[in-house]
Structure 1
Amino acid sequence: MTGSRPLQTIMMALRCREKRLTCVGNITVSKVPESNMALSVLSIFLGLLLEVSTHGPTGIPRTTWKHQEVNLIQFTETGIFNYSILLLNEDTNVLYVGAREAIFELDMENISVKKNEVFWKVPEEKQTACVLKGKSRETECLNYIRVLQVLNDASLYVCGTYAFQPTCDYLSLQDFKLENKNEDGRGRCAFDPAQSFASVMVDGDLYSGTAFNFLGSEPIIHRSSPQMSLRTEYSISWLNEPSFVFADVIRESKNSPDGDDDKIYFFFTEVSVEYEFVGKLSIPRIARVCKGDLGGQRTLQKKWTSFLKAKLVCSMPELNFVFNVVHDVFILKTPDWKETVIYGVFTSQWGNIGLSAVCAYNMSTVDEVFSKGKYMQKASVEQSHTKWVRYNAMPPSPRPGACINNIDRLQNISDSLRLPDKTLQFIKDHPLMDDQVLPIGNGPKLIRRDVNYTQIVVDRVRALNNNVYDVIFTSTDKGVLQKAIIYDNEVHVVEEIQLFTNFEPIKTLLLSSRGKKWLYAGSDAGVVQSPTAFCEKYLSCADCILSRDPYCAWDSEDNSCVVQDHESRKSNLIQNLNGDANVCPRVKYVSSDDYQKIIVKPRNAAELQCQLKSNLAKVVWKLNGTVLSVEDSRYHLLRGDSLLILSVSEQDLGNYECWSEEQVKSSSFAQLVAGFVLSFDLNVPSTTSDPTSTATTTTTPLNPVIQTEGNANTAESTLTSTSPGSTTPTTLPSQTETKLTPTSSTTVQTLWTLPIPISDVPNLETKDPSTEYIKSNNSNALLLLFLLFFILFLALMAYNCYMQFLPPPCLKLRAALLGSNKKAKPEYMACEAGLIEPIVEKTVQIEAHNQNGAQQKGLRDTGYETEPDCSNGKIPTTKHLEEPQESKDKPFDVICESQPIEYADADAPC
């Protein structure tokens, strides 16, 4: 398994479990107990978990927009849930929404405008039948729309779960009504609304990946066609508990020199058949079938003759960690199908690690695996375990699983019905490829910690420098949309937006491709329409450039950040995706007269509020041009940015400045975010001398207007670009209207107006509880948990050692630590203590009795089965019982009358 060394180590350890061997690397060292084997596997997994969680990449978004901070358009209907199917028709500017028991037609420019609707409910008798099968009447026994495809210009093809009896129908677009041509939806639609499902309509034929039966135990890839319906073979080597996520067509027949066929690709996660593991090991797959497949003549009748599947590899090479569950796939198509790129979002099946990844694959690599790769075959090994190994022999001709091309047609093989049985039998037994589909760069494009990605779409954008960049939009299970750009093999997360206020998972994500681009997200509660960029939220040229958003550019004439249009570009637009804000025009400097005035009573506390716009920036506070140290007991940072002065004295008065310092590659950019003038209220005496008391402060806000350079009354802030050799940005003088003089190592520019309204600026440490989870980092929690288990383990060992439950070496250590003279007991003392010690005690009693001249009594019964001495083993008679027997020195002779029974297990033979 490529890039999965820890997984192979665990699997190797589990294989040694059968022979009870300890495996270190590739070496078998010794036999160990079963419990130690489990601890070894657990320690390997916990070590891997701690390593990935501690050293995994983070990828923090630069900007966080809360739901109320951006303009979003929403659509929801009372009593309707599960808006999980979206279909966009850009020719008619319509968005179709499939929900539970309803289908809506919305305006794609404003989805709050509803054009049409139709309801498709389940009859009462079918609901009753569903309930009798053990399903819920309120949830499962309803009709969840799962298929919504354009059949032609006049109708849509729709399918629903229909109370676990999947049914399909046609929706007329003229009057937006169902035609009531109910068709059996088995193989076209899922039974269970919770089951995974994928479908695509290609030239009037519906290709679906779903379950064929009520229990969901028979998965199939099915083509519903008036000419020839095909399906996969019912075999775990073809499909083994798959979870389908996506399906699409690649038009490989267009301008094909060898007469190749179009191919339909399916993406899913299934249980592995080629690897042994303690549980069900999930593997991400890509499978393909040919559009012109007609099945076999004798072998594989009405079955796919072109079905092949391969493994999708998405792993962290530096940590050898594998993401083995695919959640969604987006195919970024190009005119040349070989340049098409496949993007997928992955997580690990061992949940709660909190890592999500985005991997990209070239379609040419996929084609190489299927057309030239090696096959796998079943192989029986010892202990009757079935494994899959590489098939190294020459496969039959024509190549199994390949589409019909010109070479086959020259051999009089015009379709799959003419394929020889040897080829068909081979593909029936060898549907799995040994070669794997490796990602571009042999690793993920993007990795996020503490995020679970659910959906993905990708847009290709041409920037002002005429370079093309892929912008990745990913949604999470908390209702958040994230946007990232790949720039010079480096991923920059531009921003994240809280689309849904109730933190519910985003189940579908759609991107328009014409005109003004929009994003559409569907969840259980409704649909949200969002622009692809929020350029207008960046109020300065510095923020516009530092955002590194390829959609945005700074308009130097209008002094605004605008969405750049490639077709109608202006010459005055400024854009620099490397984040160098020195390209921004120079403006005037800010005056301290425009700072907010704060009046405080002596020796009272004062809070100076400041919020940074960038999550990647750090806050720097200055007093009269001197950087303040947060180590001073008088100053404290509140919520990461705001400054709290506990006891204001005369030396604390003056001009305070809140700077945002952001590192972009080798350069550091500092922006003045807020300024304050702190002074005493001398007219009102101090009410208390307690330095911890809270003082009453009065703030005089400033509301300057952004103006062009040349207006001397404009209040503006400065941005400082510090070279790598400089440690601190140039400070702003406290004198009014005094300009800074750049030094040889720093470049000073004024870029935007001060102050920025507090409500419009997000904090570095998220203030709002609704977005607190975005910044959460569970590395410290995992480390503390690991230390806690380790401490408990040591405590348990110490307790067992103290209680003498452990072997002699531990007791020797205990004696050395506690100074005890107690020696370790022999190994047999614990198991025979009740036997040996009483014997010694009774022997002493017998000797003492004999010295007094009394008759020697027999020892008590020790629990061993004994018999009285009755004349060499004869059956005892009354004579033997009446006549006293001669005393003997045998240790197990017992006289019952003289020895009472002391133990319940003692026998009385006499």
Structure 2
Amino acid sequence: MYSLIVLHGIFLACAYSGGSNLNSIPRKIIQYEDDHVIMFKEEGVWNYSTMLIREDLGLLVLGAREAIYALDINDISVAKSKVPWKVTEEKQKECTSKGKHPDIDCRNYVRMLHQMNDSLMYVCGTNAFSPTCDYITYSDGQLKLEGKQEDGRGKCPFDPFQRSSSVMVDQDLYSATTLNFLGSEPVILRLSPFPLRTVFKSSWLNEPNFVYMDVVQESEDSPEGDDDKVYMFFSENAVEYDFYNKLVVSRVARVCKGDMGGQRTLQRKWTSFLKTRLDCSVPEPSLPYIIQDVFHVRHKKWRKSVFYAVFTSQSSSTDRSSAVCAYNVTDISEVFSRGKFKTEVTVEMSDVKWVMYNGELPVPRPGACINNAAKSAGIMRSLDLPDKTLQFIRDHPLMDDAVRPITGKPLLLKRGALLTRLVVDDVTAPDGQSYPVMFIGTENGCVQKAVNYDGEMHIIEEVKLFQNAAPIDVLRLHQNQLYAGSASGVVQMPVSSCSRYFSCVDCVLARDPYCAWDVTVQRCSRVPTSPEKSKGHLIQSLKDGDATRCPSTAPVEPKIQTLVLGNNIRLLCHPDSNLAQVTWNFAGKPLPYSNRKYTISNEGILIYNASTTDAGRYTCMSVERVKGRDYTQTLAIYDLCEQSAAVGTDKIKTTLGILFESYTTSSGLHKPEEPPSYSKNLSSERKWIVMQVVLAVLSVMMACLLIWNLYMGHISPFMCCGRQSIKSPRNLPEREYMHTGNDYVDGKQQMARPCVTTNSGLEVTSFHRNITNGDTPTDIFILKNITEESEI
């Protein structure tokens, strides 16, 4: 019972106001398309999970399974060079004999790539559970392994699917991985003239899962003469909480770059290693979220640098969710430099509990870097630290305080597919402010672009990068290009595609820092690098989403649709935004969603068992609410024409009427436009057409009578050359009639298609032809043969 109370009091997050707003959805979802990304993959090669950007060489160096590639950084589909790095047959057999899979585990997975200098790179691979490192060069357009293989234990993991992290600082390699085949001996290691490592003790590292590490230049402009720090992010089993099962928590740790170990205590061990819990509380009560990836947004002044981190739930419930939290470097540094320590105490039958240490601390402060105060006391390096300080830090590496996010809550909370990786780009908008735009990879092969506006998280879009829904394993950002790697391939995409927004309102409501509506060219364009120069020509409103400055647009022209009695009719309407609500009006009145005759979705409306009462005008509108304002747009208008119900009318009369109408239209005669309420006036208009048809039929009959008299000799055949046989109606040739008119589809002028009635025994087919070289668009209607003479 005590365990549950402690767990509930410490780990379960309390709900706070505004939490429901954190569950954001993307405004646009871009499905997978081959034409909006550049992709690289090679047949038979997998796990493209390691990247190194070499801007000086114009390369993206890519590490995969048993291969290293040099790709053109501007077009990764161009592979400039490849070097294979396969395991030997002997190594593969040795790996298999230890119970590993020969085709999955016993291969060489490139897991680490670092630049040493302008000409040399350092690469490490798992090498069939026998980690190996080597040096690689690029010259004359070719990659080359130097063949100077080194032991990779402590630098690269044995298991290709185990997380690890590393960073190169001033030619010194810092790595966080495992030291043995079983993966049971974790280590944070530095390879330098003074190699150091962590103590193999559960209070230091307890089954960790390493995620990320990077250096912060804290020695710059430091009045205390502080040292640079290397920060590590990982998750591990908590030792400080009493729980019936293993409880995983997220951690941040750090060491001093100038650490040289202790003289007698902690020899060749870190004397500055400290760690603390990283908090990312969500509104709902849950177990702590587990860190998955981190990105360091560097600033010229290191105190303004920020770490962005992705977390996922560890709960076994079906409601899987992820969160993104941001942390100031100064907040993390404050916990380590001034926070309280935790200590072990023995209570209740020798059970070990972790409580806050309230005793007196040794001097210098345990875990602190060698600063001006220490040097004034004669301690010039960590080798000079007293044993009392070293013994304390050996037994008390854990801090009592947790690091809280900048906003006190997650920037983003997302349910559904779990988030895996992220990168952040700092974008300067036309308003002169900088906005951090996050690109977040998911487990189903998508990337979400999101930005936080004064505590409001806005997901601009979600783009599906991989057709096979492979998890995003690595993300890199360079010069407005995003690179994403997975098990199946690598994708390159631009950070923005402003051409996706077709209208000013859609462009402004997207609230994309990269995009703005250019008034001069009337399109959504990329914001220039110096937005102040074209500020007056751009319309953008990021925080407020104010689209009232947008110019008015031309009205949407209706599309004519035929109503076939008894059929199901679908009217398409796609909103520009997932955040917009779609409404339909019929004959000027709102269409109720509860009506069982209709099914309304984001794809459009489906009318079941259409009847004459369904004829009329349908208007599709979207309403998007942003910052208390409603923006209504008319997306589509349909005029649904009722099909003729006059089945008993002579079919040839109906056909000739259509031909007559086509003829008058093609001849330039005026055809009155049908008003919105044309369905009510349709019968009277048909009467007028029938009268014209009757006259046409009488004319035809008179012509036939004249021909018959000529044939029988009742009239002198002075105008004929001889007898001619009259073909039966069954053998009448097909006739073509031209029809012109106007209609609008998606805002573009197209040919008009009248509501054509087709009955049994008569088939009328319409073909559409667009002529763009100055000709008039036409419709060709072909009257096919009448199959029964009795119909004449």
TM-score range, shorter chain: 0.7 to 0.9
1:505-524 alignment, distance < 5 Å: 505-512=471-478, 514=479, 517-524=480-487
CA distance in 1, matches of 2:14, 2:405: 23
Could you tell me which residue of structure 2 aligns to residue 84 of structure 1? 49
1:822-878 deviations in Å (ceiling 9; x for gaps): xxxxxxxxxxxxxxxxxxxxxxxxxxxxxxxxxxxxxxxxxxxxxxxxxxxxxxxxx
The offset of 1:92, in angstroms, is 2.6
1:100 aligns with 2:92: no
1:457 to 410, 423, 426: 423
1:630 aligns with 2:593: yes
2:145 to 157, 160, 178: 178
1:382 to 348, 358, 362: 348
The offset of 1:212, in angstroms, is 0.6
SS at match of 1:192: coil
1:67-146 alignment, distance < 5 Å: 67-68=32-33, 71-146=36-111
The offset of 1:55, in angstroms, is 7.0
CA distance in 2, matches of 1:106, 1:410: 52
Could you tell me which residue of structure 1 aligns to residue 582 of structure 2? 619
Distance 1:139 1:565, change over 3 A: same
The offset of 1:409, in angstroms, is 1.6
1:151 aligns with 2:116: yes
Residue type of the alignment partner of 1:376 = K
SS at match of 2:413: strand
Residue 57 of structure 1 contacts residue 449 of structure 1 at CA under 8 Å; is this kept in 2? no
Residue 586 of structure 2 contacts residue 618 of structure 2 at CA under 8 Å; is this kept in 1? yes
1:301 aligns with 2:264: no
Distance 1:657 1:398, change over 3 A: same
SS at match of 1:659: strand
Residue type of the alignment partner of 1:645 = I
CA distance in 1, matches of 2:274, 2:648: 83
Distance 1:239 1:320, change over 3 A: same
1:188 to 141, 155, 163: 155
SS at match of 2:335: helix
Residue type of the alignment partner of 2:174 = Y
Larger Rg: 1
CA distance in 2, matches of 1:642, 1:574: 30
Residue 75 of structure 1 contacts residue 528 of structure 1 at CA under 8 Å; is this kept in 2? yes
Residue 175 of structure 2 contacts residue 189 of structure 2 at CA under 8 Å; is this kept in 1? yes
1:680 to 599, 617, 642: 642
Residue 601 of structure 1 contacts residue 686 of structure 1 at CA under 8 Å; is this kept in 2? no
1:186-225 deviations in Å (ceiling 9; x for gaps): 1111011111100011111110000011111100000111
1:218 aligns with 2:210: no
Distance 1:301 1:460, change over 3 A: same
SS at match of 2:407: helix
1:650-689 alignment, distance < 5 Å: 650-682=612-644, 685=647
Q: Which of the pair is proportionally richer in strand?
A: 2
SS at match of 2:548: helix
The offset of 1:608, in angstroms, is 1.0
1:548 aligns with 2:495: no
Residue 304 of structure 2 contacts residue 329 of structure 2 at CA under 8 Å; is this kept in 1? yes
SS at match of 1:586: coil
CA distance in 2, matches of 1:49, 1:313: 13
1:598-627 deviations in Å (ceiling 9; x for gaps): 122334332211122211111111123222
Residue type of the alignment partner of 1:109 = N
SS at match of 1:383: coil
Residue type of the alignment partner of 1:557 = T
Residue type of the alignment partner of 2:190 = R
Structure 1: which 4+ aligned runs deviate by more than 6 Å?
A: 48-52
1:539-561 deviations in Å (ceiling 9; x for gaps): 11011011111111001121111
1:447 aligns with 2:410: no
Question: Unpaired runs of 5+ in structure 1?
Answer: 1-8, 16-24, 27-43, 688-732, 737-752, 758-910
Could you tell me which residue of structure 2 aligns to residue 20 of structure 1? none
Could you tell me which residue of structure 1 aligns to residue 737 of structure 2? none
Residue type of the alignment partner of 1:619 = V
CA distance in 2, matches of 1:187, 1:177: 24
Distance 1:355 1:51, change over 3 A: farther
The offset of 1:648, in angstroms, is 3.3
CA distance in 2, matches of 1:276, 1:686: 87
CA distance in 1, matches of 2:297, 2:268: 32
1:587 to 541, 553, 578: 553
1:310-325 alignment, distance < 5 Å: 310-316=276-282, 318-325=283-290
Residue 407 of structure 2 contacts residue 455 of structure 2 at CA under 8 Å; is this kept in 1? no
1:788-827 alignment, distance < 5 Å: none
Residue type of the alignment partner of 1:657 = T
Q: What percent of counterpart residues are identical?
A: 47
CA distance in 2, matches of 1:402, 1:166: 33
1:396-445 deviations in Å (ceiling 9; x for gaps): 11111111112222222111111111111111111111111111121111
CA distance in 2, matches of 1:406, 1:253: 11
Residue type of the alignment partner of 1:103 = I
Instruction: State the TM-score, normalizing by the size of structure 2.
Output: 0.79
Residue type of the alignment partner of 2:580 = A
1:205 aligns with 2:205: no
Residue 573 of structure 2 contacts residue 602 of structure 2 at CA under 8 Å; is this kept in 1? no
Residue 296 of structure 1 contacts residue 416 of structure 1 at CA under 8 Å; is this kept in 2? yes
SS at match of 1:369: helix
Instruction: State the TM-score, normalizing by the size of structure 1.
Output: 0.69
Could you tell me which residue of structure 1 aligns to residue 746 of structure 2? 755
CA distance in 1, matches of 2:14, 2:100: 38
Residue 14 of structure 1 contacts residue 278 of structure 1 at CA under 8 Å; is this kept in 2? no
Could you tell me which residue of structure 1 aligns to residue 393 of structure 2? 427
Residue type of the alignment partner of 1:96 = V
Residue 85 of structure 1 contacts residue 147 of structure 1 at CA under 8 Å; is this kept in 2? yes
1:251-330 alignment, distance < 5 Å: 251-316=217-282, 318-330=283-295
Could you tell me which residue of structure 1 aligns to residue 520 of structure 2? 557
Q: When the two structures are aligned, how many residues end up with a matched partner?
A: 650
Residue type of the alignment partner of 2:176 = G
Could you tell me which residue of structure 2 aligns to residue 61 of structure 1? 26
